[in-house]
Chain A
Amino acid sequence: MSAPDPGPGPGPGPDPVRADDPPGLEFDRVSMRFGAVTAVEAVSLAAPAGRYIVLLGPSGGGKTTLLNILGGFLSPTEGTVRIAGRDVTRLPPAKRPTATVFQDYALFPHMTIAANVGFGLRMRGVKPAARAPKVQAALEMVGLADAAARKPHELSGGQRQRIALARSLVVEPEVLLLDEPLGALDLKLRRQMQEELKRIQHRVGATFVHVTHDQEEAMAIADEIVVMRGGRIEDRGLPERIYLKPRTRFTAGFMGENNLLDARVERDGAGWTAETALGRFPLADATGAEGAVALSLRPEHIAVEPGPNRLPLGEALVEEVSFFGAFHQAAARHEATGLPLRLRLSQHAETRPGDRLALYVDPALLAPLQP
């Protein structure tokens, strides 16, 4: 199986990375091998300063390894790491302009919250009198101004997470590394912290590199998503682009609910045509995805009534309907071909299992996938 090698420099495709942006971080053909296992394979990735970058992928994809290489906890087997144009490949964590928010928070259990947050400044030789206002400001930024005198074990998981964030931000890192920081929080708290992380990132202006396997979290906070799989970069770009026009079959399946249709894509005059079991569809752009490929057909792109630019997909028999609050999700089977399809129906839909639905799609919403 041939995964596309993004090569050095900015990734492929139309995502805007302006050359005049100040350099933030750069991986230059970085590889990491543990014995016979290759965790990261010749990854090249450059991002301008001040972005919120999310490394997304399944566990074992190499994203945490990449983060550890950036933080200085691992020394890459090959390649160069630069932060703000400076080669930091061989620098220890203490000497890098990075700070890390660890997955399990790693607060100092024997110190007060104020001592935890002030630790980095203390290590930099900042006097207690000069530390106090900075510690207080950092605690205020994460909304825990009154926790200074308490100990970590007196706080809830969400509060500890904020303290870990404050502790890392108080040293004003150029790059903040977040290793699945919201993984241990419940869903509601997680969504709330996502907004807060984004707000804080805007405020401090540092580059944030955030590792997660939650694609919703990635889309909600990222300026740029880097999808990793098997130690390589599978795809990278704006969240909207990654979701709407995923480049590969893996990305299309990993990012949200999807229907993947086998298709034969051929050049047809100025455009392309995709031949599928559900019909023939014109495609505007299928560069690099010709031949036997797959099409990404999002459940919410399948309409149940005709409309402008919509082509019929045929009829489907609804097998199951679940209510998700904002919408209904339905599992259906295409009548003519027997293909299973996932559909998204409106909040007020009264569709029941056993109903027949006529389906339509605007072919502009179909995305051809590289194998």
Chain B
Amino acid sequence: MTPRTVRLRPADLLAAAYAALLYGFIFLPVAVLVLFSFQESRIPVPPFDGPSLRWYEAMFADRRMMEALVNSILVALVSSSVSLALGFLAAYGLARHRLPGAGALKLILTAPLTVSYLIIAMGLLITFNTLGVSRSLLTIGIGHVVINLPLCFAILYSQMGGHQAQIERAARDLGASEAQVILLVAVPMLWPALFAAFFLAFTFSWDEFIIALLVSRFDVTLPVEIWNMLRSGLNPQTNAVGSFVFLISFLFVIALDLALFGRRRARSRRGAAA
């Protein structure tokens, strides 16, 4: 085989430039945010005079910030778990049983995906006020279930195919009760999709802002706390917090990618080796 020579044509250069511009456009703001979180002085603007970890120190020493962090994790964990459980049950019911008006039910379940968070937040706020429910972490969690349940439902429903239905029939044929079919067969078969749905829901809850702002009061989540900070002007600590939030989201996206595609990659590699 002759060695392939790389010959750059103008079209290739143009394509490379376009790609660089595109990724730059997407990631430059994040890069700037992260860079100036390591700033030494009090103002996060050029010139860069770091690197320094003093603003990260300040962030971890900030009691309100840490409370918000714990709140965020709590809300994300609980609301994602609830969304996942409800989404799974809804998907299982609609995929495995013939229900009257199943089409309409599916539509209504996924409809919140198309509504803006601001509208959802306003609706929740009005509802909570009317019902006399005071704003708290619980109301934020409810809000996040509203946005994440349709997502979990859509992901899980798309993964419940006819082949799995046949395997569940086999379990029933061998004497499994309905609960055993779900716990021993349906859930384990779906676990990559369950993982993916959970991580996605967690990430969305983790950096959701509008709903958290409108339906919270004294206990707030991290994005709301950052917003509070921003109102008193820019300083490198906001950059540090922002970078931290970004890091967590980034880790979850990596985990999501591994859960969804890691197995497939491993399998195709095994298949290629065989």
Binding site for B on A (CB under 8 A): 71-73, 92-94, 98-100, 102, 104, 106-110, 119-120, 123-124, 167-168, 171
Contact = CB atoms under 8 A, between A and B. Distances in A.
A123 B169 contact: no
B189 interface: yes
B177 to A, nearest CB: 7
A120 B175 CA distance: 6
Contacts of B166: 102, 104, 106
Contacts of A104: 163, 166
Contact of A93 (B163, B173, B188, B189): B173
A102 B162 CA distance: 13
Contacts of B177: 94, 123
Interface centre among A98, A104, A108 (most CB of B within 10 A): A108
Interface string B145-174: 000000000000000000100110111111
A93 B167 contact: no
A171 B174 contact: yes
B129 interface: no
A119 B189 contact: no
B167 A94 contact: no
A123 B189 contact: no
B218 to A, nearest CB: 45
Nearest to B162: A104
A92 B172 contact: yes
Contact of A102 (B170, B176, B185): B170
A135 to B, nearest CB: 13
B89 to A, nearest CB: 20
B176 A108 contact: no
A72 B175 CA distance: 12
30 contacts: A71-B173, A73-B169, A93-B169, A94-B172, A94-B177, A98-B173, A99-B173, A102-B166, A102-B169, A104-B166, A106-B166, A106-B167, A106-B169, A107-B167, A107-B170, A108-B170, A108-B171, A108-B185, A108-B188, A108-B189, A109-B167, A110-B191, A119-B176, A120-B174, A120-B175, A123-B171, A123-B174, A123-B175, A168-B174, A171-B174
A370 B191 CA distance: 57
Given A106-B166, A110-B189, A119 B173 contact: no
A119 B177 CA distance: 12
Nearest to B191: A110
Interface residues on B, range: 10 to 19
A128 B189 CA distance: 22
Contact of A99 (B174, B176, B191): B174
Contacts of B170: 100, 102, 106-108, 167
B225 to A, nearest CB: 42
A268 to B, nearest CB: 55
B127 interface: no
A106 B170 CA distance: 6
Contacts of B167: 106-109
B180 interface: yes
Give the interface centre of B163, B171, B188, B191 by most chain A CB atoms within 10 Å. Answer: B171
B22 to A, nearest CB: 39
Interface in B100-116: none
A124 B173 contact: no
Nearest to A95: B175
Interface in B176-202: 176-177, 180, 185, 188-189, 191
B185 A93 contact: no
Nearest to B168: A106
A124 B169 contact: no
A119 B174 contact: yes
A94 B185 CA distance: 15
B270 to A, nearest CB: 9
A104 B188 CA distance: 19
A71 B174 CA distance: 11
Contacts of A110: 188-189, 191
A98 B163 CA distance: 21
Contacts of B180: 123
A168 B180 CA distance: 18
Contact of B174 (A72, A73, A109, A167): A167
- Which of A92, A102, A119: most chain B CB closer than 10 A? A119
A71 B191 CA distance: 29
Nearest to B267: A153
Contacts of A71: 173
Q: Find the residue from A120, A168, A171 having the highest chain B CB count within 10 A.
A: A120
A102 B166 CA distance: 8
A100 B189 contact: no
Q: Sorted from nearest, which 6 A-B pairs have the closest CB atoms?
A: A123-B175, A120-B174, A106-B170, A110-B188, A93-B173, A106-B166
A120 B174 CA distance: 5
A124 B167 CA distance: 18
B163 to A, nearest CB: 7
Interface string B108-131: 000000000000000000000000
A94 B189 contact: no
A107 B189 CA distance: 11
